[in-house]
Structures are given as C-alpha cells and as structure tokens.
Amino acid sequence: DDGRKCPGLIQDRSTVMEEEKPWALVLELKGENDYFEELSDIVKQHFQIIYYQELLENPVRHGPKIQALFSWNFHPAVKPSLFRLLPSLKVVASGGVGTDHLDVPLINSLGVKVANTPGVSSDSTADLAMGLLLASARQILEGHKIALDPMTIHLPQTLIGTEVSGSTLGIIGMGDVGYKIAQRSKGFDMKILYHNRTRRSEEDGRTVGATYCESLDDLLMCSDFVMLAVKLTPETTGLIGHRELSLMKPTATLINVSRGQVVDQDALVEALRSGTICAAALDVTYPEPLPRDHPLLGLPNVLITPHIGVNTYNTKSRMVKKMIENALAACNSHCQALPKSVKQK
C-alpha cells in the first residue's frame, strides 16, 4: 500500500502539511451557535479555505488557487461570472440531492465536475414530511397557541383534526425521500398510493404496502393527503396547478417537501381560500422566504416551515463530510474513484 488511496473522511489527514491541502471556496459559515463553526472546522481539516468575500476583494490573488467550490444552501451563487475568476476549478461540490440551482451543462462544458450528496438527507426530509402531515392534520400549532394564550380558561372542544391512521396518502415522487415517507406512513396504517416517472419493483411496493398509480389524476382524487417529493425539473415545474388542485378532495391536505416551483402558488392560494382543498403544509416555497405580504402567509389553513428538511445536526454533518469526500476525489489526480457526479441527460 503506497498510501495514495483516494483521500476521504476515513483517512486521517491531520498529519498532512497545510500547504499540501487543496484550496476551496466557501461562503463564510456563520450562525447563532457553535454548530456552523464545527462544520467549517471539518472543511479546514482537508482544505485550505478562501471565503467568498475574500475572493471578491482580491480575485487575482485567490482565484487561480481554488480547485473546489462548496455550494451550501445554494450559496455562493454559481454564476458564469464566478467561473471566470476560477481558472483552476475542478469540482462544484453541492450539498443535497437537488441541482436545480446549478447550470450543470455549462459547468461540465468548462471541464468542471458537479457532485451532489444523494441519500444523505432522505431520512431527515422524510421525518419532517411526516411532521408536517401530522401537525397540519391534528392542528398542533393551533393547539399550541391556545395552550399558551393567557385568555384560555377552558379546554377547546372545537379544535377538531383529521384522522391520520387509516387514511390514504398519495406520494408524488417515489425516489429515496418518497420511499422513506412511505416506510414511515406504513406505521400509521395508511393506505399508500404513489405516482412516479418509473414504477418501483413489486418487492419495493410490497415492503411498504404502496400501490402504483399510473394516472396522477387518480392519485389526486383518491388521496386524503397528497405528498410532493419530486425533483425539480422542467416536467415537474408547475406540476400542481388549478386543474390538479380541483381534482383533490375538499377535505384533502397538500404537503410539499420538494421545491416551491412544483406548485402554482397563486392556484394554491385560491384553492385554500375557496375550500377546494382543506389545508397545505409546506417546507418549501418560491421564493424563499416569501415576501412578507404574500397571501399564503395570512391563511389560517397553511403551515409553513423555512426549508428545514435537512436541518438536523447528524444530516448536516454527514452532508458536509460527503461534500468533502467528493471534492477530494475530484482534486486528487491519483484518485481512481470519481465523486458522485451529476450527469446531464
């Protein structure tokens, strides 16, 4: 063993001289606690860091050294003007599975790889999806407000929720996240329908008790809860609009943990106001955050969280580590294994 295996997190690089580490561009990680400092420290174990602001202040000095760009929460914005400052760039390491914020064909045309972290955030996103479903169905947030209200002197009898156990869940998008949502909902004895670009194997379906719906319309008409877990593509942009919402039950709830652009938000506002559907629970919107005067923010039958599907300590740490692993693989010429590169079809 010549010790030249693909360096990653399994291999301790603490003994590597600082000047031997490749240079990476990151947006300065700042937060209200020490967690973001911990993430930054993980990156520094393997890379010499140039912060985005430093690059902007002195691009001639810093730009040519940078071999890896870490895109975290869609920042820094990966625009053509940025690439002109980075002639030695080898890889854009993006956190999460979505790459809709990246122009993959353009990046690849420059000889730069794009690597993402599929699977790392599936569990935490599925957990939140079920949390949104339960919180909306059982009006947990409304109950919390009543419990805290100093004017509350009697327990309310009018806070009536929707039964989750035994209801029908329609999952649109049965990839990693959608499948893990199905696994969780099986524990609630839900009848599970799913619509996907490709049908999963019979064994997959039996394992979670999910039935394939070739017709999206059929799923919408039959479901008590409609869960969006698709990737954002030209085909899924605006997937749920006026027509689709009109097919849903008036007692149904729409839950979105994919991307805000999958839903026509004007149509959603109208459907919620008119009673076409009962409620919506959204971890994603477009834009993020919504303008403070957006009508969705004023509706009583909407629950919105600020895109926190991946926001757990374990998931964030795993994501950063996978990004580093991918970036190291691309930066080291002797490495035989390539990062999890995204190939544009």
Strand partners, 194: 171, 212
CA distance 251 to 260: 22
The answer to whether residue 101 is catalytic is no
User: Domains in the chain, please, with CATH?
Assistant: 18-120+312-331 (3.40.50.720), 122-304 (3.40.50.720)
38 is a catalytic site residue: no
SS3 for 137?
Answer: helix
Separation of alpha carbons 90 and 96, rounded Å: 19
Q: What's the CA gap between 234 and 61, in Å, rounded?
A: 39
pLDDT at 15: 45
Catalytically annotated residue among 46, 62, 195, 307: 307
Among 184, 195, 259, 318, the one annotated catalytic: 259
pLDDT of residue 332: 85
Judge residue 289's burial from the number of C-beta atoms within 10 Å of its C-beta, 0-12 exposed, 13-18 middle, 19 or more buried. Answer: exposed
Q: What does the block give as tokens for 245?
A: 């919402």
Neighbours of 32 (CB within 10 A): 6
Phi-psi region of 148 (alpha: psi -120 to 50; beta: other; left: phi over 0): alpha
Q: How far apart are CA 319 and CA 317, in angstroms?
A: 5
The alpha carbon dihedral of 275, 280, 286, 287 has a sign of positive
* Contact of 161 with 135, CB cutoff 8 Å: no
pLDDT of residue 344: 53
Active site residue 200: no
CA distance 125 to 242: 27
* Gyration radius (Cα) of the chain, Å: 23
Q: Which residues are 72's β-sheet partners?
A: 75
Mean pLDDT for each consecutive 10-residue tract of the chain (345 residues)? 43 60 82 62 91 94 96 78 95 88 90 92 97 98 96 92 98 98 98 97 97 98 98 96 98 98 98 98 97 98 96 91 93 65 56
Q: Give pLDDT, residue 71.
A: 87
pLDDT of 72: 77
HSE-CB for 283 with a 13 A CA cutoff = 23
Cα(89)–Cα(113) distance, integer angstroms: 9
